[in-house]
Amino acid sequence: MAVRRALDAGERVTRSPARLDQPQAVDAGPAELFVIATDPVVQGVIRLAADTAAGVGRVTSISADRLPASVMTEPRPIVVLDLDGAVPSIAPVAAVLDLAPDVRVVVLSERDDGAFVLEAMRLGAFAVLRKPDGLHTLSDVLAQVAGGERVLPTDLEQSAVSELRRFARQVHAASTVATPVTDREREILELAAEGFTTHQIGRRLGISPRTVEAHVAKLYRKLGVKTRIQAITRAAALGLIDMSE
Amino acid sequence: MGKRPSETRATQPPRRRLGVVVVDPLGVVRAGLGMLIANADGTELLAEAGTADEALRAIARARRSRVVVLVGLGLEEPHDASWLIREIRERYPTHAVLAVGANADPTSISRALFVGADGFIDKRVEPEEFFESISRAGEREVVLAGPTSSSVGQIADGIHRRRELDAMLTPREREVLAIAAEGLTAREIAARLGVRERTVTTHLGRIYGKLGVGNRLAAVRLAARSGLVTVGTPE
């Protein structure tokens, strides 16, 4: 029930104040801060920033694999989530917010492309900062997040906004496809995009090559194309399959 | 004014001012925006229009390759802001279209972007930011002035939900749901689409099943959240 989940997420974020509104008064005491970071240097930087941030209270280091119950029960918990590596996945952000939807997540990452920033904010993150230069502002950002504001540095905000148009256009183009593509058809598209032949796809999915052909023919009709390459590029343009990896 | 000093290119010959068309149902808003734009250095007011159809005629008369069209979200039926944005996007792909609203909720911004807008300006921003947004749109940038960091995620989520809905429903089912949102009975929907009432109830049943809801109200609420249908005024 992906839609239900998205719906809940929508209701959750609707309550957050818009930028033009006054930030919430910090009268419920300092916000508890949880740190998910494996790098001891980054951990130290976060603790240092938290010490000087207004409205931020106790700091606890936790593991992403096992969120302590207090993360879910604290009234306004902040989780600073450090994503490792040059091309980190967004998955940990989704995982934390799935378990604890009221948590205010601050994402630290070396990735700063629009798709990454926008997806983090869409999932409900309160802030995204680029490492290492964004760490200088962490103390201020934590104070703002403790006050209920969502924060993005100007350049990250602009790349997220640019991505928003690309995303909107892609979804709009996909909505013009006459019939939705089924999960099975998408599966076949993805395998075809990886270069598998009809026979190989059939073997992988445990169906006959003829069935694969039937699916492919239906896909051509739905996508309005005549060749396999056209089908793959069209599906990628519509965002039906991800060819970025 | 309108451009920051760092953006002016003193060494280049003076360029033609950026043409702007203002579309808003409220005369006072049109007059106010029109005056600001006409008196600014970098912009030129090409036309004002109070309806979508007037706007299309004005844009056709403009004969420019790049025009910034400001579309007020308050435009109403039969041709609302979404309709106009889609038309401009199709007929004039090089023009920039900015949706303009006051206090607009993220869903209507999602919807405007989905149908082809290049951005959104909140009427409550300062004139300086307003002009900066217009000139940036003239440079083909995407602009979100007013509701930025706080709602960029919500706006994206609206579009994302639209994709999920689109992935589940066929175009005919979407059509049925959109009409159902107007409050028509199955018989009335059938008459509008020229099909049997039985066909409509089958469609509705399938829609509820796919969306995992029990009744029409829940289905319409879902559709409204994903911007498939508008319920109430967008401003």
Residue A22 sits at the chain B interface (C-beta within 8 Å): no
- Using CA coordinates, name the residue in chain A closest to B140: A162
Q: Is A9 within 8 Å of B170 when comparing Cβ atoms? A: no
Q: Give the Cα separation of B26 and B50 in Å (integer).
A: 7
Instruction: Say whether both B136 and B173 belong to one domain.
Output: no
Burial of B185 (0-12, 13-18, 19+ CB in 10 A): exposed
Res A180 pLDDT > 80: no
Residue A220 sits at the chain B interface (C-beta within 8 Å): no
A120 contacts on B by Cβ (under 8 Å): 153
Q: At A177, is the pLDDT very low, low, confident or very high (cuts 50, 70, 90)? A: low
B231 inside domain: no
- A196 three-state secondary structure: coil
A181 contacts on B by Cβ (under 8 Å): 167
Instruction: Say whether both B47 and B140 belong to one domain.
Output: yes
CA distances from B22 to A150, B54, B67, B223 (A): 32, 11, 11, 30
A165 contacts on B by Cβ (under 8 Å): 113, 118-119, 142
- Using CA coordinates, name the residue in chain A closest to B160: A171
Res A116 pLDDT > 60: yes
Residue B140: give the domain boundaries.
16-148
* Residue that finishes a domain, picked among B148, B179, B206: B148
Contact B137, B98 (CB under 8 A): yes
Q: What is the CATH number of the domain that holds B120?
A: 3.40.50.2300
Q: What is the CATH number of the domain that holds B206?
A: 1.10.10.10
Radius of gyration in angstroms for the set of CA atoms belonging to chain A, rounded to a whole number: 22
Whole-model pTM: value is 0.72
Q: Is A3 within 8 Å of B156 when comparing Cβ atoms? A: no
| Identity of the residue in B116, B118, B150 whose CB atom sits nearest the CB atom of A172 | B116
Instruction: Say whether both B49 and B144 belong to one domain.
Output: yes
* Residue that finishes a domain, picked among B148, B179, B201: B148
Nearest by Cα to B224 from A149, A10, A170, A146: A10
Q: Is A169 within 8 Å of B116 when comparing Cβ atoms? A: yes
B10 inside domain: no
Instruction: Say whether both B178 and B63 belong to one domain.
Output: no
DSSP H or E run through B43: strand B43-49
Instruction: Say whether both B126 and B212 belong to one domain.
Output: no
Instruction: Say whether both B105 and B28 belong to one domain.
Output: yes
pLDDT at A140: 93
Residue A173 sits at the chain B interface (C-beta within 8 Å): no
Instruction: Say whether both B122 and B21 belong to one domain.
Output: yes
Res B88 pLDDT > 80: yes
pLDDT at A28: 64
Instruction: Say whether both B41 and B78 belong to one domain.
Output: yes
Q: Give chain B's domain count.
A: 2
CA distances from B198 to B194, B202, B216 (A): 12, 6, 16
User: How many Cβ pairs within 8 Å bridge chains A and B?
Assistant: 127
B9 inside domain: no
CA dihedral for B62, B67, B70, B71, sign (positive or negative): positive
Sheet of strand A127-130: strand arrangement:
A56-61, A31-36, A78-82, A104-109, A127-130
Q: What's the pLDDT tens digit per position in B145-194? A: 886 667 889 889 888 888 888 778 888 888 898 888 888 889 999 999 99
Q: Give the Cα separation of B72 and B98 in Å (integer).
A: 9
| Identity of the residue in A19, A167, A169 whose CB atom sits nearest the CB atom of B149 | A19
Q: What's the pLDDT tens digit per position in A13-33? A: 333 333 334 444 445 678 889
Instruction: Say whether both B186 and B143 belong to one domain.
Output: no
B160 inside domain: no
Instruction: Say whether both B81 and B196 belong to one domain.
Output: no
pLDDT at A184: 87
Q: Is B160 within 8 Å of A149 when comparing Cβ atoms? A: no
B164 inside domain: no
pLDDT at A29: 79
B167 contacts on A by Cβ (under 8 Å): 180-181
Q: At A5, is the pLDDT very low, low, confident or very high (cuts 50, 70, 90)? A: very low
Q: Is B150 within 8 Å of A165 when comparing Cβ atoms? A: no
pLDDT at A9: 38
As a whole number, the mean pLDDT across chain B is 84
pLDDT at B15: 64
% of chain A with per-residue pLDDT over 70: 86
Instruction: Say whether both B115 and B198 belong to one domain.
Output: no
The nearest CA of chain B is from the CA of A158 a distance in Å of 8
Instruction: Say whether both B143 and B27 belong to one domain.
Output: yes
- Using CA coordinates, name the residue in chain A closest to B167: A180
B7 inside domain: no
pLDDT at A87: 77
Q: What's the pLDDT tens digit per position in B3-17? A: 455 544 455 555 678
| Chain B positions with Cβ closer than 8 Å to A | 106, 110, 113-116, 118-119, 122, 124, 141-144, 146-171, 211-212, 222, 225
Highest mean pLDDT among A5-9, A15-19, A188-192, A232-236: A188-192
Across the strands, what pairs with B111? none
B55 inside domain: yes
> Between residues B129 and A176, which one has the greater pLDDT?
B129
Other CB atoms within 10 Å distance of the CB of residue A176: 10
B1 inside domain: no
